[in-house]
Structure 1
Amino acid sequence: MKVFAYRQGELFAEDVPLSRIAQAYGTPTYVYSRAAILANLAAYQRAFAGVPHLLCYSVKANSNLAVLNLLARHGAGFDIVSGGELARVLAAGGEPRKVLFSGVGKSEGELREALRQGIHCFNVESGAELARLDALAGELGQRAPVSLRVNPDVDARTHPYISTGLKQNKFGVPFAEAFEVYVAARSMAHIEIVGLDCHI
């Protein structure tokens, strides 16, 4: 689906000339296509048809409230990396039970708020984070759903600044320690293991 296209020398977004948008809102301005967003979401949904799944949009890619609201209204979940992103998802009508909390450096306040909201899962990056989450969940009388992020030490051969899967990267539990951390998690009273994950 090509939603941004030239017609007789003028660029259109869907059926609206961009010159009309520029006249109405000034420049620079951001223009998103509802049709393109929904077509892409539908393509992913079709790809996973028949398999239990939760598609989560990465809020760090674009935290525009209208975009988040559109995705939420059409069943998408959200991958967040901060309490601010959680607040934006909630403000946009996103469901906490469809939120994954990823990333290093989650603060205690952010973890506590995510627990209070009842998010779907915490993607835990380290044994220390796991222990902190267990303690906070205990204080709130809850069990925290976690997925253990394992660093597989795999080179994706992309630009070194976006590498996340090598052992020298700051992301995830080192592969050699993953089983030990998983066993520790199983013994924690306020942790519920719901998955394993990795980024390459």
Structure 2
Amino acid sequence: MKKYYPPVRTLHLYIGLFVSPFVLIFSISVLVLNHAGYLNSVMPVKRLPVIKSHLDKIPYDASDLQTAKAITQKLGINGEIDFISQNDDHISFPVTLPGERTKIEVNKHTNDVLITRDEEGVFRATNYLHKMPGPHNTTIRGNTVFMKTWRLLADMVVYLLLFLSASGIFLWYFLKAERKLGWLAIISGAIIFTGLLLFIIG
């Protein structure tokens, strides 16, 4: 087993460096989610001027996503389309990029378009990246290349973090000087995890 120590140590080091920016994004996003009220007070969302436009030949007979994509292409707006709402009179949906949210509303009788935009800032951008690979609105999730790529990267980071945990335990096993503190850390973590698990299912 000891012969595997050098390559595992090298992988542990460089994989840790590789995933560190992603861990930073997820860490900041958790703080943003937990302290949204404070962030809103110090860095409020900036509402940009409303834009009115007009479009022709919108394919309302297509699927909701195809119609929304056709509208964004004609308007020259890029981003992830989410939560499409449509009835006989209107179709509306948000188009989101990290740190920027655009709401598009189209009058289906006149093809008039109302566009509202919010600049949310870099911290809320991490919040967006944290939540978007999730299960919500799965029928249209990942309709941009960026989000498809980010979803794959998010999965990859999880697998790499599992490897870092396993390789960290493997490396610790050979560091006799750290053996006692290591056991203390493992036992403490196990107790806290078990307590939280019992609290959740209790």
TM class by shorter-chain length? under 0.3
- Over alpha carbons, which structure has the higher Rg? 2
For CA contacts below 8 A with separation 6 or more, give which structure has more relative contact order.
2
What is the TM-score normalised by the length of structure 1? 0.26
Higher helix share: 2
